[in-house]
Amino acid sequence: MGRYIQVEDHVKIYVEDIGEGIPVIFLHGWPANSQMFEYQYSILPKEGYRCIGMDFRGFGKSDAPWESYSFDRMADDLKAVIDELQIENAALIGFSMGGAVATRYMARHQGKGISHLALMGSATPVFTQRPDFEYNMTKEDLNAQLIIPTYEDRPKMLSQFGLKFTHHKSRAALMVWLELLCFQASNHGTIKAAESLRDEDLRADLPHINVPTVIFQGQKDKICDPKLAELTQQSIPNSRLVAFEDSGHAMMFDEQEKFNSELLLFLNQMSGGNNNSGVASHNL
């Protein structure tokens, strides 16, 4: 079921709410929307989980205001969704930019309503290089590869970005579908969220995370260097890193069976391993 939730600056955020049971909130990556988790939505409700997918402002079916695409603002939107739906003891799943917003939420709002966290190909602790941070792309590279081309030819930018998204190139139809999801974003939302990825720093946020946390990372990732996952894991007390050796950025597509199995293993910890049907009940 889809619905809109209006947040404090009168922006309407689109939310999908599928299934019943333990809530699992999905935060998508740049510049897609929550439908990128389609292959989790089709499995988790059968296992007793309620899937809640939120489109960030400017993306998917949410409103696209001209301004306000900071991680603070998007974390506040997430809090409004959690408050409106009266969510408690949820798992928060953040992929790429969604991982950055999830991290900001955990620090800014003290993890309200969240009992478990999964960061996947996460744009943390910092997405671009700094004088004291030597990893991943430079700000100049981000401008040249993502922001300037979006002003000039967004479809071409998305096609080129998509080439880096997965390690396996045999699933061409799936990548066309994912590219179509990215076309649903607003042009200015795409640009301004990319500016947040370029400029924001989450190093001070990560130590505030105090719930069980798992970090999924494709070892052939060309968007978020695997070193970022190692640094993220080192900054979150008692977190655990799961490596996807044969995956690029989007391990949920490159190693779909392992991804869904590892996600279910993690989620089943929330119910002490006693959730309805267990990990092995599906042909993933």
**Distance set, CA 143 to CA 59, 149, 182, 283 (Å):** 20, 8, 18, 42
109 is catalytic: no
The one catalytic residue among 34, 62, 96, 186: 96
The one catalytic residue among 76, 205, 221, 254: 221
96 is catalytic: yes
The C-alpha atoms of residue 190 and residue 194 are separated, in whole angstroms, by: 6
The C-alpha atoms of residue 193 and residue 273 are separated, in whole angstroms, by: 37
Q: Over 171-194, what HEC string results?
A: CHHHHHHHHHHHHCCCHHHHHHHH
The C-alpha atoms of residue 140 and residue 174 are separated, in whole angstroms, by: 30
- What residues pair up with 225 in beta bridges, in sequence order? none
The one catalytic residue among 28, 116, 167, 249: 249
> Could you tell me which of 257, 261, 237, 232 has the C-alpha nearest to residue 246?
257
> Could you tell me which of 52, 225, 40, 43 has the C-alpha nearest to residue 127?
225
The owner of tokens 């602790």 is 125
186 is catalytic: no
Catalytic residues: 96, 221, 249
